[in-house]
Structure 1
Amino acid sequence: MTILHLSDTHSQHRRLTRLPDADILVHSGDFTMNGSEQEAIDFMNWLCDLPYPHKIFICGNHDACLYGAKIDGLDKNVHYLCNSNVIIENIKFYGVPMFMEDCISDRQARNYAAIPADTNVLITHCPPYGILDFDDGINYGSIELLTRVEEIKPRLHLFGHVHKQHGVKKDGSTIFSNGASMNGDYTNFNFPNLIEI
């Protein structure tokens, strides 16, 4: 199975042309810039129109308009994950969004603790602490998330958030992918991560 991983497109998704073929496209959040409903609707329309057999997305800290929202009307092969999962070809994908309302309370830590132990592909917006999360002298990742990832050992962990750390890294049995699509100064795109599992 080939997974195309995008993240942090910040309302510039329509500039992404000639994306490579894959079985599943995953967007790990920050598809809007200002968190407006119009931006979110435009992204979902674009995503639905892409020719991938399956498409999965979660929200990032910029996607505030979807906090608490129930999304209806997506195509059957488009999956919005919000502390929930979808199973595709016997592979369990689980997604945890990054809403600021959760981050300023203990809810985000509880969301991480609730990630099922049988998750094969974990999708978060935030990186785990110390893995593709360093910028300006700071590790922006979550210690609670790192702890849970070390416990469950997913085959693949997809995230974004830290634009300057775009890339793929294998650590133990887990492949980590920071799919931040826009570079650090929001001017150009990084090539999407294409991962075989």
Structure 2
Amino acid sequence: MSQTSTVKTRILIISDTHNAALAPSTNHDVAFREPLPKADVLLHCGDLTGLGFLEEHEQALDMLGRIDADLKLVIAGNHDISLDQKHYTRRGQDWHGFDDPDQTYAARAKELWQGEKAKAAGVTYLEEGTHCFVLKNGARLRVYASPYQPEFGDMAFQYADNQDRFNPKDQSTPDSQSIVENPVPDFPAVDVMMTHGPPLGILDDVGRAHAGCEHLLRAARRCKPKLHCFGHIHEGWGARRVKWKEGDNFYIPWKYHVERYESVKVDHERMKADRAAFVDISQDGEEALVWGRETLMVNASIMTVEYRPHQGPWIVDMDLDKATNNAQS
């Protein structure tokens, strides 16, 4: 592919903001402060709120409205319980402490993210599945999005460990139960995967254990996006360049899907000064990505384990195909 057929695009990634406001520009102790770097696209990978109260959704929208990006894509996370209608019907009263007799609270939360206030903030709320956008810079962006992650604390958008919701039924993880509704597509259909939870073994450490999803790891290897961003595991903040195992044998132990990976080094003082950690995987950058062999994995959780918004956003510069006249948006 010639260089002229692509457009260098800047993507700003955040996750797990949990109602945090951007710190004042004068607070140089944190990177998550006003103004964040301007970007072509903002990705928020879920856990917008603490427990999905309407006022929390309002606050999250206000925060996103203060970020300068031409397109802002948002998914939910396990804490955004009112955005999961099934879960809220079953457990909403337990979480929020009040009845919802007419079953409208969750619908009002979803409407907030799909209505006029979100539109005014430049925000597009994504349901699980594949989406395509034409950007103002002329690029085409193809995204697979999913708010789901393995069960933890009976919260929103969860599935059992033995349930595979990311791979087609004929490619499901052995001995798993297929619950797929919107499978991750094969390479090269997607530029970016945007999930709330991490894949197994990648930026998912919780103490001496892994909290990521094996089924998602297998799906990511099939898909081989240029970028896979997520959050959920606060202590996993960081970025890794993953080189996938070659071949089409996906029925192997999870640890063998990755041939090798390299952690992205971060100068934390520079990150605070720049308001983000920067990675350039475009073809004219120093860390050019080999698409189809490599994926940049990013855990963009802003909150620390102690729920302090002290972890920086990520800026990824990457090449996207130029949009064609028949591109969908």
Judge which range, 179-188 or 140-149, deviates more.
179-188
* Rg larger for: 2
Cα RMSD over matched residues?
2.2
- Correspondence 1:103-118 to 2 at 5 A: 103-104=158-159, 109-111=164-166, 113=168, 114-117=183-186, 118=189
Match in the other structure for 1:11: 19
Q: How many pairs were matched up?
A: 197
Match of 1:87 among 133, 150, 167: 133
Pairing 1:171–2:242 present: yes
Question: Partners of 1:55 and 1:93 in 2: how far apart?
Answer: 12
Q: Is the 8 A contact 2:147 2:157 kept in 1?
A: no
Q: Is the 8 A contact 1:96 1:111 kept in 2?
A: no
Question: Partners of 2:237 and 2:156 in 1: how far apart?
Answer: 26
- Correspondence 1:48-197 to 2 at 5 A: 48-68=65-85, 69=110, 71-73=114-116, 74-75=118-119, 77-84=122-129, 85-88=131-134, 89-98=139-148, 100-104=155-159, 109-111=164-166, 113=168, 114-117=183-186, 118-172=189-243, 173-197=294-318
Judge which range, 144-153 or 7-16, deviates more.
7-16
1:23-79 Cα shifts (integer Å, max 9, x gaps): 111110111012212111221233234321111110011011111445222327421
**Unaligned 5+ runs, structure 2:** 1-8, 24-32, 86-109, 150-154, 169-182, 244-293, 319-329
Q: What letter matches 1:138 in structure 2?
A: A
Percent identity of equivalent pairs = 31
Question: Partners of 1:179 and 1:54 in 2: how far apart?
Answer: 18
Q: Describe the shift of the 1:104–1:171 C-alpha distance in structure 2 as closer, same or farther (beyond 3 A).
A: closer
Match in the other structure for 2:61: 44
**Unaligned 5+ runs, structure 1:** none
Residue 101 of structure 1: CA displacement?
5.0
Judge which range, 18-27 or 85-94, deviates more.
85-94
1:81-106 Cα shifts (integer Å, max 9, x gaps): 11132323212012101374542458
Residue 112 of structure 1: CA displacement?
5.7
Judge which range, 14-23 or 132-141, deviates more.
14-23
1:110-139 Cα shifts (integer Å, max 9, x gaps): 256512331210100100000000011110
Q: Describe the shift of the 1:30–1:135 C-alpha distance in structure 2 as closer, same or farther (beyond 3 A).
A: same
1:140-196 Cα shifts (integer Å, max 9, x gaps): 100010010011101100100111111111102100000000112112411111111
Q: Which runs of 4+ in 1 moved over 4 A?
A: none
